[in-house]
Amino acid sequence: MKLKKLIVLPILLILAIALGGCSDDEILIINEFPPAPQGVFSITGDNAVFIFWNAPYEADLAEFFVYRSNEPVNNFVVIGTVIADDNPNLDLVLHQFTDSTVVNGQTYYYAVASVDFAGQVSELSAEDVFDTPRPEGTIIIPEISTDPTIAGLDLSTQSRVPWNDPNADIYLDTVAGIFYINATDTLTDLQDMGYTEDFDAIGFAPTVGWSENGWAEVILGHTYVIWTRDLHYAKLRVTTITSSFVDFQWAYQLDQDNPELVGGNNITQKPVRGSDYLRRPNGDKVSINSGK
């Protein structure tokens, strides 16, 4: 990491003191290095990471260097530059850079530095910013009575499978005309995260609050997080509901035990589910799967 420092001209300093222009406790500072960007954060994409930051309140900024490393602290290298917006009024300005040279499932670490018109580079931004890109897409899933052969979803392959396929993670059914998303076994957990304005609103999987019954009503605009039996996280957001199928946006984290879904692995142990986990209030069992 680069240390922030000031440039002092010793000859001018000595001359100034000799001429009486400075007192003994005064220091002549020439051309201070620019401040580092602040508020750096990232959003996870599909084979992409989007980095955002606030520019310092400075008018003397030419550009920003974006750094990346495969380690949390060391070996940062410049992967791109962003021209600084002209900011004579010293407003709060947000800048963005897209890193499209990443691979899904691998974790990357980022930092940003300011560069002034003299070419001086600030220290690296202080925030710990890391990201693990993952695949995403859309998928239409029917409910069981419409087509039981594709009413299930295997998140590891992002493909539709029979609702009772041993590789299915969730499936859809209806009760009294209402759609429900169901875990397929006691080792699969799900949670309704409520209404979200967009797909990126849920950036990390929760560590607590998993469903106590293994099913949840499907509601337009709601996002659901899935914790699979083989310790992968995924999310589904409902974009369309018809009388026979539901259209989802999906994202699946390839990196096992990594809760990042949009952009740390301190994962809690999966909950232990009992025999009532996959039962409706009337006692009917909603799944026959026992695991992959």
Q: Is 287 a residue whose pLDDT tops 90?
A: no
pLDDT higher than threshold 80 for residue 172: yes
pLDDT at 260: 84
**Tokens linked to 136:** 């995403």
CA distance linking residue 159 with residue 109, whole number of Å? 31
Cα–Cα distance measured from residue 102 to residue 278, given in angstroms and rounded to the nearest whole number? 39
Residue 268 pLDDT > 50: yes
pLDDT tens figures, 109-168: 999 999 999 999 999 999 999 999 999 999 999 999 999 999 999 999 999 999 999 999
Nearest alpha-carbon partner for 217 in 153, 165, 169, 173: 173
Find which of 92-96, 109-113, 131-135, 282-286 is predicted with most confidence, using mean pLDDT: 109-113
Confidence of residue 12 (pLDDT cuts 50, 70, 90): very low
* Alpha carbons 156 and 253: distance in angstroms, whole number: 9
pLDDT for 35-89, tens place per residue? 999 999 999 899 999 999 999 988 889 999 999 999 999 999 999 999 999 888 8
Q: Examine the pLDDT at 238 and tell me if it is beyond 60.
A: yes
- 46 and 134 in contact (C-beta within 8 Å)? yes
Residue 39 phi, psi dihedral angles, 5° rounding: 65, 35
Q: What are phi and psi of 149, to 5 degrees?
A: -75, -15
Sorting pLDDT into bands at 50, 70 and 90, what band is 7?
A: very low
Region of poorest pLDDT, from 14-28, 155-169, 191-205? 14-28
What type of residue sits at position 255? D
How confident is residue 25, by pLDDT bands cut at 50, 70 and 90?
low
Q: Residue 244: CB partners within 8 Å, gap ≥ 6?
A: 142, 143, 146
Predicted pLDDT at 8:
31
CA–CA separation, 142 and 217 (whole Å): 15
Q: How far apart are CA 74 and CA 202, in angstroms?
A: 29
What's phi and psi for 146, nearest 5 deg? Answer: -75, -50
Which residues fall within 8 angstroms of residue 23, CB to CB, at 6 or more apart?
A: none
- How many C-beta atoms lie closer than 10 Å to residue 119's C-beta? 8
Q: Give residue 64's Cα distance to chain centre.
A: 22
pLDDT band at 15 (very low <50, low <70, confident <90, very high): very low
Query: What's this model's pTM, rounded to 2 decimal places?
Result: 0.76
Backbone angles phi, psi at 284, to 5 degrees: -70, 135
Single-letter amino acid, residue 163: W
Residue 88: both structure tokens together:
């004579």
